[in-house]
Structure 1
């Protein structure tokens, strides 16, 4: 087993990459970014391991909603969210307990 690697994350958010790819963007200022990229930029997250929160795109979460992206807050694994394009990123960050 490898040695442990330290991360400064307080929380982790899993975002379905397959859902994001199907939408082809829809988030951010011009509506051209994926949800993960738009949320990272909105929260000012630059350094991955040293960031206060991890926003991670995962292969597929198996929900496959039409016109939305599946998001899982690791601190609340029993409540998954479907986020539609153009959603308010401030409201999403508050809902999943992230500091904006």
Structure 2
């Protein structure tokens, strides 16, 4: 076993959004200004205006399948509200997604 201590890394995230990677891959985009971005990338751009990665205001993480598998949509869930999942249809505006996930007031 290693005797190295566990280190902590500071992040500026106030919220974390989990996005289903499998749903995103099936859609091959459908979000963003031109409709050619994955939901996770479009959300990162919209939420992380002041920074990137751990310095952004919110984190958007693509996770393995969430086992909902809607047709023509992507599943997203806010980590602070694990009982309230959003099924986001292809072509939904990012502002509508942000409002639906309850991130607008942040």
TM > 0.5 between the two? yes
Unaligned runs of 5+ in 1: none
TM-score, normalised with respect to structure 1: 0.89
Q: For 1:37-76, what aligned pairs fall within 5 Å after superposition?
A: 37-43=41-47, 44=49, 46-76=51-81
For residues 35 and 45 of structure 1, the distance between their equivalents in structure 2, rounded to whole angstroms, comes to 19
TM-score, normalised with respect to structure 2: 0.85
Contact in 2 for aligned 1:40/1:46 (Cα 8 Å): no
1:70 aligned counterpart, secondary structure = strand
Q: How far is 1:46 from its partner? A: 4.1
For residues 38 and 96 of structure 2, the distance between their equivalents in structure 1, rounded to whole angstroms, comes to 17
For residues 46 and 64 of structure 1, the distance between their equivalents in structure 2, rounded to whole angstroms, comes to 31
Match of 1:87 among 76, 92, 103: 92
| Over 3 Å off, 4+ runs | none
For residues 103 and 36 of structure 2, the distance between their equivalents in structure 1, rounded to whole angstroms, comes to 22
Alpha-carbon spacing, 1:64–1:95, altered in 2? closer, same or farther (3 Å): same
Residue equivalent to 2:9: 5
Unaligned runs of 5+ in 2: none
Q: For 1:16-31, what aligned pairs fall within 5 Å after superposition?
A: 16-31=20-35
